[in-house]
Amino acid sequence: MILNTAFLRSGLTALALSAFLLLSGCSTVPVQVGDTVEEPVFSADRIVPEDFTRADTSSDPWQGFNRTMYRFNYRFDKYVFLPAVSAYQAVLPGFAEQGLHNFFVNFRQISTLMNSILQGDGYKALDTSSRLLVNTTIGILGLFDWATPMGIPYHEEDFGQTLGVWGVGSGPYLVLPILGPSSVRDGVGLGVDWYVRNEVRDWATDLETWQEWTWTILEAIDTRANVSFRYYETGSPFEYEWVRMLYTTKRQLDIER
Amino acid sequence: MKTTIRLFRTLLACSLAVLLSASPAAAYDYPFDDPFVATVVGTPEEYRADLPDKIPLKKRSIKIFEDRVTPDYLFYDDKLRYSYALQDGPAPLVFLIAGTGGSHDGGKNRIMAKAFYQAGFHIIALSSPTYMNFVVAGSKTAVPGHVYKDAEDLYRVMERIWTTLKDRVEVTNFYVTGYSLGGLNTAFVTLLDEERQVFNFKKALLINPPVNLYNSISLLDRMIENIPGGVDNFDKFYNKLVSAFSEVYKKEDTVKLSEDFLYKVYDVLQPKDEELAALIGTSFRISSANMAFTSDLMTDFGFIKPANIRYTENTSPGDLNAVAHRLGFTDYFHAYFYPFYHTGEPSLSRSDIVAQMSLTAIEDYLRTADKIEVMHNRNDLILATGEIDFFSRVFGDRATIYPKGGHCGNMDYPDNVNHMISVFKE
């Protein structure tokens, strides 16, 4: 764990430093060739009414950084993440893959349980603890999902949602390295959930550092394998804006429900 | 009396036989009569044809124009993406062409891929020439929608992909099919193949194609006017849509967003036709915005983006996003497409090019081209009044017109899947 913490600390410092560099270094303004901007056939002045209200209400003051990170994620996906997913799927037989997936999903229910309680949602807390109980025992540490066929509903609640329920605004939109679209609030939420789960894991198990790393990497690959989104394959030159708008909307709905 | 009865019976039997052969409608139980519902919802799961969950689909990309420098903003589209699935032994091969704004592995191409692969065909799936990645990496002019140029682009892409695969696979015969605009593309690709003879397509199937492209884009542009207050109120429409979705999403706390979620939303909300039309209009509007803006970035024509402004990898389109979504296919046609092609061919009038971009322009060829068949729906929303009759008039019994299904809503309905396969079955 000491190594992990040290690694984390140096990682965070490096991240903060590169974030600063990126924030200061990425302009989102286009390049002009020549002295005056030529008028297009349909200019924004002519087409977009002045009192126009946007459907996209997300705040994105760090767009330069975010766009750069979005591209980084695309490349990470292309050269690291997706090849790893393919290899994982090729090596592991289907049932093992499913078993591991169930295991990680079940383990993450700890976060849902915690956040259901923090949000004062008794039904979700009850459902989630029943799921955890059933799947951790007769589902052999979560490898098998017996709770779903038994009809116990599945919920997902994270600390970002809890903060939202408590009235904390989302803050600026933030594209996180590897993890993707988020916001300041949701980013903090991810960190808190991750920290709590790690504490629970340390309490329940006695894993070596390399085992913890294996866990983290397998969980990351499993998560990626179960998300069908591919960067820059929506067929839209406005993909960045669409993803931002849909992410913001979906999080609002998640908090309301 | 007996003779009368016998005569009557014979007549009845005859007319039944005629009915059965002329229209498959006799027992066509696709669940939605309303073309708007069919177009939006498609085929609900319990009515869908039995298709495999997964086929061994390989996704690849290929550089089509070696010396083309892709603009920074579009760096990720430098190569053309496509997919294929091959059988183990010798088999016929089907090329699939997606519809307006559709990608090679979009929903409807996947239906066709699964259906044909399951029936024993190799498949190669291509994006629509109007799809962003194709505009950037596969289109010679990067100004899509020109049926002859698009056919040449598609044919070039087919040849290039075939070159990379031909040593690994044995093909008995080549076939080609496409839905919507891909259906129109299929007709012109088949026509081009008569001249080039690289594939010598044994058969071609046009699924829900437009007759005249300009008529269809006009109809689609008008659909977005169903947004209450017009496109200026898109934000209100979006918020209404979101709250409608969330009503269901919040109630069904255990449900995840998926394709069947859409059906669930429909089932709970029972939206009016105008609302569905607004939705269809919006979906096509997004396609037109994507296509037009991408094309503008490629050619620096100055349609939406000022011609002397260059986008970097990090540039934010800002308000040009809103401009792009305020312009329809017809704006693209009149203010960009026509002037662009007019420059190269000054004698070309607007009405000339409108007439060229249609199946009617190649009616004589289609009338005698026994290899080309059509599968269409009587209540397809992209056809102008009376246009549906073009198919039976020109193709005769090579056209099968289903009584319902809207625009491509019934493509994975069992009768339609079986029909597609039966056209190519050897």
Q: What is the ipTM of this complex?
A: 0.87
Do the chains contact at A40 and B289, CB–CB below 8 Å? no
- pLDDT digit string, tens, across residues A36-90: 888 899 988 888 887 777 778 789 999 999 999 999 999 999 999 999 999 999 9
Do the chains contact at B103 and A235, CB–CB below 8 Å? yes
Cβ of residue A83 closer than 8 Å to a chain B Cβ: no
Confidence of residue B12 (pLDDT cuts 50, 70, 90): very low
Mean pLDDT value across chain B: 90
Cβ of residue A33 closer than 8 Å to a chain B Cβ: yes
Instruction: State residue A34's pLDDT score.
Output: 80
* Chain A residues inside the 8 Å CB shell of B230: none
- Check whether B107 has a pLDDT greater than 70: yes
Strand intervals (E) in chain A: 31-32, 173-176, 180-183
Average pLDDT value for residue range B67-92: 97
Judged by average pLDDT, the poorest of A8-17, A51-60, A158-167 is A8-17
Measured CA to CA in angstroms, residue B408 lies from B84, B178, B325, B393 at distances of 22, 11, 24, 21
Q: Exposed/middle/buried for B121, CB within 10 Å: 0-12, 13-18, 19+?
A: buried
* Selected residues 67-106 of chain B with any CB under 8 Å from a CB in chain A: 73-74, 76-77, 81, 101, 103
* Chain A residues inside the 8 Å CB shell of B253: 124, 153, 155, 257
Q: What distance in Å separates residue A214's CA from the closest CA in chain B?
A: 29
Please tell me which residue, A57 or B395, carries the higher pLDDT value. B395
Q: Kindly state the tokens that stand for A163.
A: 């903060």
- Check whether B118 has a pLDDT greater than 60: yes
Average pLDDT value for residue range A12-39: 70
Which chain A residue shows the shortest CA-CA distance from B300? A40
Cα separation, A120 vs B197, in Å, equals 70
- pLDDT digit string, tens, across residues B187-242: 999 999 999 999 999 999 999 999 999 999 999 999 988 888 777 787 788 888 87
Measured CA to CA in angstroms, residue B141 lies from B61, B127, B149, B295, B300 at distances of 20, 16, 8, 9, 12
Instruction: Count Cβ atoms below 10 Å from residue B299 Cβ, excluding itself.
Output: 16
Instruction: State residue A2's pLDDT score.
Output: 44
Residue A150 near residue A134, CB atoms below 8 Å:
yes
Instruction: State residue B248's pLDDT score.
Output: 73
Q: Kindly state the tokens that stand for B162.
A: 């075939």
Do the chains contact at A236 and B314, CB–CB below 8 Å? no
Closest alpha carbon to A111 in A147, A153, A160, A152? A160
Residue B325 near residue B234, CB atoms below 8 Å:
yes
Instruction: State residue B251's pLDDT score.
Output: 66
Phi/psi class of residue B108: alpha, beta or left (left: φ > 0; alpha: ψ in -120 to 50)? Answer: alpha
Do the chains contact at A39 and B306, CB–CB below 8 Å? yes
**pTM for the predicted model, two decimal places:** 0.89
Which chain A residue shows the shortest CA-CA distance from B80? A233
* Selected residues 202-241 of chain B with any CB under 8 Å from a CB in chain A: 232, 234-235, 238-239
Instruction: State residue B6's pLDDT score.
Output: 52
* Chain A residues inside the 8 Å CB shell of B79: none
Q: What distance in Å separates residue A176's CA from the closest CA in chain B?
A: 16
Instruction: State residue A45's pLDDT score.
Output: 84
- Check whether A224 has a pLDDT greater than 50: yes
Confidence of residue A21 (pLDDT cuts 50, 70, 90): low
* Chain A residues inside the 8 Å CB shell of B296: 40
* Selected residues 49-68 of chain A with any CB under 8 Å from a CB in chain B: 49, 52-55, 63-64, 67-68
Do the chains contact at A237 and B286, CB–CB below 8 Å? no
- pLDDT digit string, tens, across residues B137-196: 999 999 999 999 999 999 999 999 999 999 999 999 999 999 999 999 999 999 999 999
- pLDDT digit string, tens, across residues B15-31: 444 444 445 445 899 99
Which chain B residue shows the shortest CA-CA distance from A46? B323
Percent of chain A with pLDDT over 90: 72
Do the chains contact at A235 and B290, CB–CB below 8 Å? yes
Cα separation, B84 vs B65, in Å, equals 21
Average pLDDT value for residue range B94-108: 95
Instruction: State residue A11's pLDDT score.
Output: 57
Instruction: State residue B20's pLDDT score.
Output: 44
- Check whether A25 has a pLDDT greater than 60: no
Average pLDDT value for residue range B311-332: 93
Please tell me which residue, B251 or A121, carries the higher pLDDT value. A121
Instruction: State residue A10's pLDDT score.
Output: 56
Residue B154 near residue B185, CB atoms below 8 Å:
yes
Which chain A residue shows the shortest CA-CA distance from B133? A235
* Chain B residues inside the 8 Å CB shell of A151: none
Which chain B residue shows the shortest CA-CA distance from A235? B132
Query: How many beta-carbon pairs below 8 A join chains A and B?
Result: 139
Task: Using DSSP, state whether B207 is helix, strand or coil.
Answer: strand
Judged by average pLDDT, the poorest of A40-54, A196-210, B282-296, B364-378 is A40-54
Do the chains contact at A249 and B315, CB–CB below 8 Å? no
Average pLDDT value for residue range A126-131: 96
Nearest by CB to residue B304, choosing from A42, A52, A253, is A42
Instruction: Count Cβ atoms below 10 Å from residue B264 Cβ, excluding itself.
Output: 17
